[in-house]
Structure 1
Amino acid sequence: MPSADPSTQPLKSAEELAQSRRRFPGESPQYRAARNALLKEEIELRRHIERVAAQRRALPPGGEIPEDYRFESESGPATLSQMFGEHDTLVTYNWMFGPKRQRSCPMCTSFLSALDGEMADILQRVAFAVIARSPVERLTAFKRERGWRHLRLYSSGGNTFNRDYADEDPDSGDNAGFNVFVRSNGIVRHFWGDEMGPETADPGQDPRGAPDAMPLWTVLDMTPGGRGTDWYPKLEYGAQSKTGT
């Protein structure tokens, strides 16, 4: 007989699952009680993340793109529909490296460096495009400088994509953010866009999505010091970092 669909099976309570049998050397009963209480919340968080992901997947069809935007890629002109390649889903990331910036946003650079390492795997499932308004030659020069191998870069300097899908005013600067597009029967529609910006941030926190896509923050959130408030990612460290950029 076929096995039952796991999604229809009743879930054990998080409190029941959180009674961990693991013990670390030297831990106290107080530590174990607090750790199991935290484990319960971690299980609830995992479940909430899955509920949000399921709700996202169930969104009704988004708006059809107003035009098939034309970009400049590393290999020549490319339209948004061409970015899909063989896939029916396209993820775009708006990179804060517009023509008015002297250097790339350090936070975007940190994130894109992590994505470059994951990109070969990501591209098995979806297409992925990194978009910025600087000329493509400037984007590819920075790509070579950082040693990125897998990111596919596109210049949106000649279209209104950033204004339409990143809520960006070309005269005031750049906005980072994700968008997801789907293609069906030759029609490209917007599926989902990142809408958690400064106006949704909680007191004392930088704007962030949920879940946070940056591995940097995911790792630091597991530490006693957390993300910290007295530092910011830099483009260079050590002897190379003389300007604090």
Structure 2
Amino acid sequence: MDAINLVSARELARRNGLSFPNESPEYRQARDELLAEEIELRRHIERVAEQRRALPPGGQVRKDYRFQGPDGEVTLRDLFADKSTLVIYSYMYGPQRERPCPMCTSMLSAFDGEVPDICQQVAFAVVARSPIERLLAFKKERGWHHLPLYSDTTDEFSRDYHAIGPDGGDGAAYNVFTIKDGVIRHFWNPEMGFATADPGQDPRGAPDFMPLWTVLDTTPDGRPPSWYPSLTYGSGP
């Protein structure tokens, strides 16, 4: 992005010209100031994305990771299918859990509808440590249609790519891999957790992949400080 040729965010906010019924001058002034900050945020997000895309080659994947899918065993290489990039989300649903992580489930429920679009550009897979039969049963229960689920039967992939915590419990992870000239490399992981969290905030990545939080961030009360999604709400889904 050529910052030299960009119009200032404040000028773009001024040009925007929107208003809504019965708003006060004080509201409009504050909203225009916020709009300028939102424009700057958009630009910063794009700068970070450019920097991410410019990363040098990551570590080569030397192990022959294998997973159990609905139709039998597959390798990491198989998960690429005909794509050069593979995204793997590590789902917190290990064999020690009676039920899967509600936070992971909330996010994956949103991803489920996006999978057909995502897979036009990159390969996508969800890996968990529970047996594949257990994962498919929950997929049916949840009403997911598109999420490709795989079981890490040996825990080796999950351990190497930070989906198992120091205590041996589940950890959520998001990893991107590339393949070029037959060589698979790790490209990116958010690398944000408790060590990188700011005071008073739960650990979160940037970007934050949770559509739930994105919506709540636009509301007057924002993210509730002590509320988290649940697998069920009364008799609802």
TM category, shorter? over 0.9
Where do residues 5-16 of structure 1 align in structure 2 (5 Å cutoff)? 10-16=5-11
5+ residue gaps in structure 2?
Answer: none
- Structure 2 distance, partners of 1:169, 1:31, is 47
Q: State the match for 1:173 in structure 2.
A: 169
How much does 1:228 deviate?
A: 0.7
- Structure 2 distance, partners of 1:37, 1:68, is 53
How much does 1:229 deviate?
A: 1.7
Provide Cα deviations, 1:118-156, integer angstroms capped at 9, x if missing partner: 111000000001011111111111001001111111111
How much does 1:239 deviate?
A: 3.4
- Paired residues of 2:163 and 2:172 also in contact (CA < 8 A): no
Provide Cα deviations, 1:79-116, integer angstroms capped at 9, x if missing partner: 00000001000000010000101100000000000000
Provide Cα deviations, 1:14-43, integer angstroms capped at 9, x if missing partner: 111011311100100100000000000000
Q: Quick one: which of 171, 189, 192 aligns to 1:193?
A: 189
User: Secondary structure in 2 aligned to 1:131?
Assistant: strand
Counterpart residue identity of residue 160, structure 1: E
- Paired residues of 2:90 and 2:163 also in contact (CA < 8 A): no
Instruction: Identify if the C-alpha distance between structure 1 residues 240 and 214 changes in structure 2 by more than 3 Å, giving closer, same or farther.
Output: closer
Q: State the match for 1:3 in structure 2.
A: none
- Paired residues of 1:131 and 1:155 also in contact (CA < 8 A): yes
What is the root-mean-square deviation of aligned Cα atoms in Å?
1.6
Counterpart residue identity of residue 47, structure 2: R
How much does 1:204 deviate?
A: 1.2
User: 2:95 aligned with 1:126, yes or no?
Assistant: no
Q: Quick one: which of 229, 232, 236 aligns to 2:225?
A: 229
Q: Quick one: which of 189, 194, 206 aligns to 2:202?
A: 206
- Paired residues of 1:92 and 1:178 also in contact (CA < 8 A): yes
Which segments of structure 1 move beyond 3 Å, counting only runs of 4 or more? 6-9
Provide Cα deviations, 1:30-81, integer angstroms capped at 9, x if missing partner: 0000000000000000000000000000000001112120110111100000
Q: State the match for 1:137 in structure 2.
A: 133
Number of residue pairs matched?
Answer: 236
How much does 1:157 deviate?
A: 2.3
Counterpart residue identity of residue 13, structure 2: A
Percentage of matched positions with identical amino acids:
62
- Paired residues of 1:70 and 1:159 also in contact (CA < 8 A): no
User: 2:27 aligned with 1:31, yes or no?
Assistant: yes
Q: State the match for 2:150 in structure 1.
A: 154
How much does 1:169 deviate?
A: 4.0
5+ residue gaps in structure 1?
Answer: 1-5
Q: State the match for 1:218 in structure 2.
A: 214
- Paired residues of 1:113 and 1:148 also in contact (CA < 8 A): yes
Q: State the match for 1:112 in structure 2.
A: 108
Instruction: Identify if the C-alpha distance between structure 1 residues 152 and 170 changes in structure 2 by more than 3 Å, giving closer, same or farther.
Output: farther
